[in-house]
Chain A
Amino acid sequence: MSNKVCTLQEAIAKYVEDGDSISFGGFTTNKKPMAAVREILRQGKKDFIAWAGPAGSDWDMLIGEDRVKAYINCYTADSGVTNVSRRFRKKIEAGQLVYEDYSQDAIMLMLHAASLGLPFLPVRLMIGSGLVDEWGISKEVRKTIDKLTDDKFVYVENPFNPGEKVVALPVPQLDTAIIHVQKASPDGTCILMGDEFHDVDIVVAAKKVIVTCEELVSNEVIRRDPTLTKIPCFAVDAVCEVPYGAYPTQCYGYYDYDNAFLKAYGAASKTEEDFKAFLKEYVYDVKDQAEFLEKIGVNRLLKLKVSDGYGYATDISKEED
């Protein structure tokens, strides 16, 4: 067992490369590896093939900074905060983003198929919709991007049910996966609490895996209850202890989202100018996560602490009876 602990700067420098086919864990405003995203922004990494899944301001910031070569979309919004992520919207409306749309079900199954090592994936999804009628990225453009297949999908006949038309989807080859977890040990074993979303799928599927964690615990302690560990040590390349690494999104058992911060981003990202100023203030002018948390402030973070028995931050002082 090797020790994989390193700083977030080291992990991003070593395991995130320009042009990577990359996916993040989490779900819109829940358990997104936001500290890692900010570090990617700071290090200037770019040209990603983004397997975004249910995305929010994580990918919106990278899109706004032109770091994305091809964006594979199913949903992009800080759900309940913005109707649609603003940079994503603006770049598409301005013709400045290469994007493809699949349904969320299709993308989640594609990432799962990647974890299973399948050659392709037959589904009954997207039929009769714009998702098959329109290709965001044409065959000609796809041919110039070697990490994308030439076809968005292909109709095939179900070999076991002659006459049934199904949609064959390509299975992504992921270079890099980044997830945020509650606990990890130096060898890379991870405890995930709450819904795992597609986090385990992308970890199994990707060649390079970075885990940021709320707490680093010993290799011995993390093995005390294997019903809690969802990722074995050898599936991980780098372990970074990054408390509040999902902030401003949620982290089950630890903290709620900071709705005011998400709202502030939502407002700032409406214009190029305000977006740039927001990123300057909260990303580029901040050295690392420690300095970022200093800037956010301890009282703001304390307010997000989840209430015991609830799983989110709530004011139980007002409870009646």
Chain B
Amino acid sequence: MADYTKYTNKEMQAITLAQQITNDNIAIVGTGLPLIGASVAKRLFAPKCNLIVESGLMDCSPIEVPRSVGDLRFMAHCGCQWPNIRFIGFEANEWLHDSTRLIAFIGGAQIDPYGNVNSTCIGDYHAPKTRFTGSGGANGIATFSNTIIMIQHEKRRFMQKIDYITSPGWIDGPGGREKVGLPGNRGPQAVVTDRGILKFDEKTKRMYLAGYYETSSPEDIIENTGFDLDVSRAVKLDPPSPEVIKMIREEIDPGQAFIQVPKEEPAN
């Protein structure tokens, strides 16, 4: 008999992502954890939300877990197959119409205190130590949409200064986006990691710890963050219900494409 009272930090991360979506949202999802999170949201927290992907597939309800945003698993059972350029135009028009329905999930390798994200390279851009895919749709998403950033919580990733800005966040603080010519009324709303959730101070636009998982602590998070972090507002987050864990393992990702179910000794 499977034990759904035990869960992993990755499952907690997916559920925390899911809780950022509301019924009014059109969520721009990718593959991996954001999709798992969005699937949880659609079944539990925000059944009326709509999911879209940057390849142009609108109002998706995948049955099997897609591996790519252009996967047939997204194409089948979606409301409309737009080409990618329509997605880009839609995203820009949502901003022009002053609509705040869009909420997007992006990932990255490095992040700074203002939520600027690097998914291009480690080291010098021209002679990188490690090269990644490049922007994909993330830059455009971070330009026009509010974002939830998903990243592993490690000191080497949470840096005072990142090597390259692929997806602009709040740039260098209040007024930073306007100063460089970006929409100032859009930007990162939260960072969801495998240790907790961080948000951005309304005045300073700097990241602060808003909540931590029961497997972590403010001290643990400070230790794994490469810049000064305000933890004074942090609360311990409730563990997930066994029903949600069962849903993820049996319905949403039964093939364990993105979330491995531990054979023994889960994280808690």
Contacts and interface: CB of A to CB of B under 8 A. Distances in A.
Nearest to B31: A80
B70 A27 contact: yes
Contacts of A23: none
Interface string B83-107: 1110010001000000000000000
A147 interface: no
B186 to A, nearest CB: 11
A314 B64 contact: yes
B67 A259 contact: yes
Q: Which bracket fits the contact residues of A?
A: 35 or more
B173 to A, nearest CB: 13
B67 A29 contact: yes
A105 B83 contact: no
A190 B75 CA distance: 20
Given A124-B92, A195-B57, A76 B83 contact: no
Interface stretch (A12-20, A84-92, A206-214, A279-287): A84-92
B4 interface: no
Contacts of B54: 104
Q: Which bracket fits the contact residues of B?
A: 35 or more
Interface string A127-147: 111110110100000000000
A312 B66 CA distance: 10
Given A125-B140, A310-B76, A76 B81 contact: no
B120 to A, nearest CB: 6
Nearest to B70: A27
- Determine which residue in B31, B66, B71 has the highest number of CB atoms from chain A within 10 A of its CB, and name it: B71
A54 B70 contact: yes
Contacts of A166: 181
Contacts of B147: none
A55 to B, nearest CB: 9
A76 B134 contact: yes
Nearest to B123: A93
A288 B144 CA distance: 46
B127 interface: yes
A109 B88 contact: yes
Contacts of B171: 128
B88 A129 contact: no
A136 to B, nearest CB: 8
A247 interface: no
B218 interface: no
B167 interface: yes
Contacts of A79: 31, 67-71
A84 B135 CA distance: 12
A194 B76 CA distance: 9
Interface string A79-114: 111011100110011010000011111101100100
Contacts of A200: 83
Contacts of B92: 124
Given A108-B84, A195-B57, A195-B81, A129 B139 contact: yes
Q: Looking at chain B's contact residues, is the secondary structure mostly helix, strand, loop, or mixed?
A: loop
B164 interface: yes
A197 B133 contact: no
A93 B127 CA distance: 6
Contacts of B120: 101, 130
B44 interface: no
Contact of A77 (B56, B133, B137, B177): B133
Given A101-B134, A131-B166, A312-B73, A126 B139 contact: yes
Given A128-B168, A129-B168, A194-B72, A80 B67 contact: yes
A28 interface: yes
A256 interface: yes
Contacts of A312: 64, 71-73, 76
A42 interface: no
Contacts of B50: none
A22 B77 CA distance: 33
A69 interface: no
Nearest to A200: B83
A95 B127 contact: yes
B1 interface: no
Interface string A21-52: 00000111110000000000000000000000
29 contacts: A26-B70, A27-B68, A28-B68, A29-B67, A54-B55, A73-B134, A74-B136, A76-B133, A79-B67, A79-B71, A83-B133, A84-B132, A88-B131, A89-B130, A93-B129, A93-B130, A102-B135, A104-B137, A112-B85, A124-B92, A124-B143, A124-B144, A128-B171, A128-B182, A130-B164, A196-B83, A197-B55, A310-B76, A311-B76
Interface of A: 26-30, 54, 73-77, 79-81, 83-85, 88-89, 92-93, 95, 101-106, 108-109, 112, 124-131, 133-134, 136, 164-166, 194-198, 200-201, 250, 252, 256-257, 259, 306, 310-312, 314
Given A83-B132, A201-B85, 12 more contacts: A28-B70, A95-B127, A103-B137, A105-B84, A108-B85, A108-B88, A126-B139, A127-B143, A128-B165, A130-B125, A165-B181, A197-B83
